[in-house]
Structure 1
Amino acid sequence: MCGAIWQSMRRRGMWSSRWAPATDTAWARNCWPLCANARWGMVRAEPAGLLELEARLQTLGLAVRRDEPLARHTTWRVGGPADLFVTVQSIDDLIHAVELAWTYELPCFVLGGGSNILVGDGGIRGLVVHNRAGAMSVEIAGQRFPLEKAPADMQEAVLYLESGAALPAAARRLIELGWDGLTWAADIPGTIGGAVVQNAGAFGECLADRVIEVEWMDPAGRLSAWPREECGFGYRSSRLRGRRDIIVLGLRMQVERREPAELRARHAELAALRRSRQPAGPSAGSVFRNPAGGYACKLIEEAGLKGRRIGGAHISERHANFIVNDAGATAQDILRLIELARESVRRTHGVELELEIELVGEFA
């Protein structure tokens, strides 16, 4: 962590998220317990301290939006309003924003690329911080420099990526600079922060293969770094997943030199495979994790659910583990399809499907 960011974190106090990601569709028990009494369709009471928080955020030079539709910021294109919404471009502003939310005892949710989540139609109470802190650097002799400063004869390198870096943009930039490490991720929506929490992967590779360590901050403002072996990486999971008391700041990862033309060709090959296997249209990627020894898409297909529609959403006919919003779906439409798939697979195969996505906010 560079000196300026380190000092800023030492100066600042506490951060915490009052949101706990749901692990199943029992959203009433798991999603935003502090707001459990709120219901979609009722007049929403403004949380105490919201006006003060808005004013303090504005003094930081942050543009604050009220009742921002989160459907604009999720890959499923669904989600109700956030009480307050800010976009941050630096780790320093990220820390400021979440600290202020904690100071006013308001819920705070850090949003990345908006993939792999289903935001309820009732939206998210408190503050949503859209993390766009996306600096990338190369480590040379213990210091960090812009990627372009890496010597041409450097064959291996350690990179530092901030948590708000867009995964596809980061991957494509590395391809053009001749660094191999994220080529498989060049068409995967999301951010570095979300990718490391979920241990994103595709085509036999995953982020854990490259991670050296992950840097994060706890509610007391302490900076910590877990080496890869302490991150508890597994299939689409990590020790970071579901933690309310951690904010991911960035990661260090290993990359190797390759010819840009070689990497472009590999990217083109993987992109073609992705187009052939996955549906077009707004989705969140795979809805369920693959069960041990099987594939969620196969189980859903064998349950006869390919093409099944509820409202404006349907289970994809190309890949049954995708739910596509193709006709102005609501989050409730998608949630009902999720519940239908789980119940049908449980009945036909005796298998309990686990969500890969996370449920966030208020549902009907």
Structure 2
Amino acid sequence: MTHPQSIGILEKKFGNRLQQQVALQNYATARVGGAAAWFVTVRNANELADAVQICWDHNLKFFLLGSGSNVLFSDDGFNGLVILNHAKKIEMKISGEHPTLWVESGASLGLVARKAALAGLSGLEWAATVPGTVGGAIYGNAGAHGSDMHSNLLLAEILQHEGGKSIWKNEDFQFSYRSSIFKRQRRSGVILSATLNCEYDDPQKIKERMNVFSEYRRRTQPPGASMGSMFKNPPGDYAGRLIEAAGLKGYTIAGVKVSEVHANFFVNSDQATASDIYNLVQHVQKTVKKEFNVELELEVEMIGFNPTANNDKANHGKASI
């Protein structure tokens, strides 16, 4: 891949933060994946917008990476620019009747929830143990414990390939279960920042609720290198229940296995490759389809695999959680 003009502009803008042949396994929670041809870390929303705009202007393929959960890079890596989103500024508006949080899209969702709790702001308790960034959580409508980003988002600043910057209201995202219009339609755009709704409450009561959710997570989700929930829950059922009922709990391919704690988690237990995980995904999908006639839909984004609906269609502005 050669894009000398765009690479030159990126080097001028970001200096030695622009790197070549960076191992993506170091930035993915599954600890697998090949190298990114180019890699840059952005530190605020303005830098994020600049990096993305340069890519669009020069037709340079890019992938926006958050915390590295809910994404699987192939062993071949990514033949373009990976933008690591470290835009993490958080501002609280705690005067008036309706408190809000303004956060840049690279901020850790769990950290935002914990900071809100310390300030006596309720509404994000569900997010305290959810991995990922705010931008990725909006993109995929992340949720837990009966709530999700749809319940908290007030506004977001968006940068689109055609149209520039704009402010989107909650309803503009057309949220659905673990999805938004950004994700469903592969919108060519990125989320720069967001304003989240909160409510006032006693910090101790908020902490107690968060502790309940944290304990539940410890009991029901496996430790180790994984991507989080692998599949979306089908209507009226649970992906983990179907996988377990199909006899696949503990099933192993090379170094990756279906977790014995929660069957909707695949754990890299012994130096697995991305191909191992991909093969296990296909085996589980085929087995569940055969046993129950249910198509399990991936919640994890697969980048660099062929054929897959989640492949490089998204590489003009997709955000990983």
Return the TM-score normalized by structure 2. Answer: 0.91
Give 1:121's aligned residue.
75
Per-residue Cα deviation, 1:179-217 (whole angstroms, up to 9, x for no partner): 112221112111001000111111111111111123211
Please state how far the C-alpha of 1:155 moved relative to its aligned partner: 5.0
Give 1:9's aligned residue.
none
Give 2:297's aligned residue.
354
- Aligned residue pairs total 305
Q: Report if the CA contact (8 A) 1:79-1:121 is conserved.
A: yes
Return closer, same or farther for 1:351/1:68 CA change in 2, 3 Å cut-off.
same
Q: Which of 127, 148, 171 is the aligned partner of 1:206?
A: 148
Q: What is the DSSP-based 3-state SS (H/G/I as helix, E as strand, rest coil) of the residue aligned with 2:182?
A: coil
Q: What is the identity, as a one-letter code, of the residue corresponding to 1:137? A: E
Give 2:8's aligned residue.
55
Q: What is the identity, as a one-letter code, of the residue corresponding to 2:171? A: E
Give 1:71's aligned residue.
25
Q: Report if the CA contact (8 A) 1:137-1:159 is conserved.
A: yes
Q: Report if the CA contact (8 A) 1:120-1:331 is conserved.
A: yes
Give 1:12's aligned residue.
none
**More off after superposition, 243-252 vs 307-316:** 243-252
Per-residue Cα deviation, 1:43-90 (whole angstroms, up to 9, x for no partner): xxxx121x4433322222341111101111111111110001000011
Structure 1 residue 323 corresponds to structure 2 residue 276? no
Give 1:7's aligned residue.
none
Q: What is the DSSP-based 3-state SS (H/G/I as helix, E as strand, rest coil) of the residue aligned with 1:188?
A: coil
Please state how far the C-alpha of 1:95 moved relative to its aligned partner: 1.4
Q: What is the DSSP-based 3-state SS (H/G/I as helix, E as strand, rest coil) of the residue aligned with 2:6?
A: helix
Structure 1 residue 193 corresponds to structure 2 residue 146? no
C-alpha distance in structure 2 between counterparts of 1:362 and 1:291, whole Å = 23
**More off after superposition, 159-168 vs 191-200:** 159-168
Q: Which of 212, 222, 225 is the aligned partner of 1:269?
A: 212
Q: What is the DSSP-based 3-state SS (H/G/I as helix, E as strand, rest coil) of the residue aligned with 2:260?
A: coil
Please state how far the C-alpha of 1:310 moved relative to its aligned partner: 0.6
Paired residues for 1:287-302 under 5 Å: 287-302=230-245
Give 1:17's aligned residue.
none
Give 2:250's aligned residue.
307
Give 1:181's aligned residue.
123
Per-residue Cα deviation, 1:215-249 (whole angstroms, up to 9, x for no partner): 21111352222222221111111111152411111
Q: Percent identity?
A: 39
Structure 1 residue 161 corresponds to structure 2 residue 115? no
Structure label with greater radius of gyration: 1
Please state how far the C-alpha of 1:362 moved relative to its aligned partner: 4.7
Please state how far the C-alpha of 1:359 moved relative to its aligned partner: 0.6
Q: What is the DSSP-based 3-state SS (H/G/I as helix, E as strand, rest coil) of the residue aligned with 1:250?
A: strand
Q: What CA RMSD, in Å, does the superposition of the two structures yield over aligned residues?
A: 1.6
C-alpha distance in structure 2 between counterparts of 1:291 and 1:66, whole Å = 40
Return closer, same or farther for 1:178/1:155 CA change in 2, 3 Å cut-off.
farther
Give 2:287's aligned residue.
344
Q: What is the identity, as a one-letter code, of the residue corresponding to 2:265? A: F
Structure 1 residue 251 corresponds to structure 2 residue 223? no
Q: Report if the CA contact (8 A) 1:214-1:252 is conserved.
A: yes
C-alpha distance in structure 2 between counterparts of 1:269 and 1:254, whole Å = 22
C-alpha distance in structure 2 between counterparts of 1:103 and 1:235, whole Å = 33
C-alpha distance in structure 1 between counterparts of 2:160 and 2:173, whole Å = 15
Q: Which runs of 4+ in 1 moved over 6 A?
A: none
**More off after superposition, 236-245 vs 280-289:** 236-245
Per-residue Cα deviation, 1:93-121 (whole angstroms, up to 9, x for no partner): 11111222223322011111111111111
Per-residue Cα deviation, 1:317-337 (whole angstroms, up to 9, x for no partner): 111010001111111111111
Q: Unmatched 5+ residue regions in structure 2?
A: 308-321
C-alpha distance in structure 1 between counterparts of 2:121 and 2:33, whole Å = 36
Q: What is the identity, as a one-letter code, of the residue corresponding to 2:298? A: L
Q: What is the identity, as a one-letter code, of the residue corresponding to 1:267? A: M
C-alpha distance in structure 2 between counterparts of 1:199 and 1:98, whole Å = 22
Q: What is the identity, as a one-letter code, of the residue corresponding to 1:135? A: K
C-alpha distance in structure 2 between counterparts of 1:197 and 1:294, whole Å = 23
C-alpha distance in structure 2 between counterparts of 1:103 and 1:293, whole Å = 45
Q: What is the identity, as a one-letter code, of the residue corresponding to 2:57? A: T
